[in-house]
Amino acid sequence: MHRRRSLSIGSMSSGSISSTTSSTSSVSYKALQFATALEANPWQAKVWVFLGLSGGGSVNGIYFDTRKCLARAVTIDPDFAGAWNLLGNRGGGQVGLQTYTPAACYVRALEIDFTMAKAWHNLGMEGGGEVSGDTYSGEDCFIRALEFDLRHDQAWYNLGKAGGGEVEGIFYSEDDCFERALTINPSNAFAWKCLGAAGGGQVGATYYTSAKCFTKALELDPQLTAAWKLLSEQAGSGWTVGGLWCSKEECKQRGSRTKTPDSFVCGTASHHSGTGSDKQISKDRKMCMVTGLTLAVSAFASLSSWVPAFSPH
């Protein structure tokens, strides 16, 4: 039996999350509240997670950064799957006398909650691993993630990058996967670029040629040089990108500039298993951390009030 313990910000607050706007000062104020609550009772695992997501803070004169807060949470509650997943997102850390890599954190999360799609996806981004005695490749992990959450757009995208695979008895080619990812989240510039590279496809009720996929990608991310290069290789004298005409030669010139990372992850934390340099992976992890912390900032700022009424279980 797999024990389940996940993190739901909404269920931890006395109010509902109703706004996506926030400010640094409001997050700092929340962090101060969390730190104050922990000084009164340092055994509240969920509050340690909240303090970590708000950037960390000082508790009884000792400063805890995000990773240390998350490590403290799983030390108090070793069955807190959500905290293990978040610790992996932040690069892992030391829990007790043992150092956990990101992959080891995701494995721990899945040994507690086998159905956690985010942890499966994140483990796939690390190249896979052994969970409860069974070995899973990166592709296997993306498939597992989708078996538990068919609307996990990043898992579809990364399964497509891996060449496609069988989900719930149906085989999906790489372009099928990119189409699925974009149907769920049409704002993924990298998925548009990949769908274009696969020859184009149908997203929703609209069919997109390769050239149209590349222009969609560039409207979302004008710095995606790979898309500029691929667009310049299409038949035609030029294309409209973001309302502006760009000749074939201009697209070619833009495509020859410094390359941007060709990856996108959540949970945040997004590199591709077995590919790319360590520098690339580091960039992607930072991107994921910034995205995750930005979402956390928005969530905390919208909490109308907060009552320190948490328990470690």
Mean pLDDT of successive 10-residue stretches along the chain, which has 313 residues = 45 36 61 94 97 94 96 97 97 95 98 98 97 97 98 97 96 96 97 96 96 97 95 95 94 80 36 34 37 38 34 34
Residue 224 CA to residue 261 CA, distance in Å, equals: 8
Residue 258 within any structural domain of the chain: yes
pLDDT value at residue 258: 56
Indicate the helix (H) or strand (E) that contains 158.
Answer: helix 153-161
What pLDDT score does 257 carry? Answer: 79
The verdict on residue 206 lying in a domain is: yes
Looking at residue 19, its pLDDT comes to 40
Burial grade of 75 (CB within 10 A; 0-12, 13-18, 19 or more):
middle
pLDDT of residue 284: 39
Q: pTM higher than 0.95, yes or no?
A: no
| pLDDT attached to residue 259 | 54
220 Cβ contact list (under 8 Å, min separation 6): 187, 188, 189, 192
Predicted pLDDT of residue 28: 81
Which of 178, 165, 158, 183 is closest to 266 using CA atoms? 158
| 86 within a domain of the structure (yes/no) | no
DSSP secondary structure code for residue 237 in this structure: S
Domain assignment present for 226: yes
The tokens for 219 are 């409207």
Q: Does residue 126 belong to any structural domain of this protein?
A: no
Contact 60, 39 (CB under 8 A): yes
Given this model, what pLDDT does residue 77 score? 97
Distance between CA atoms of residues 179 and 125, nearest Å: 20
* Domain range enclosing 220: 189-263
Q: Given the DSSP bridges, would you call strands 98-100 and 93-95 parallel, antiparallel or unpaired?
A: antiparallel
Q: Report the domain count for the chain.
A: 1
Asked, for residue 125, whether it belongs to a domain, the answer is no
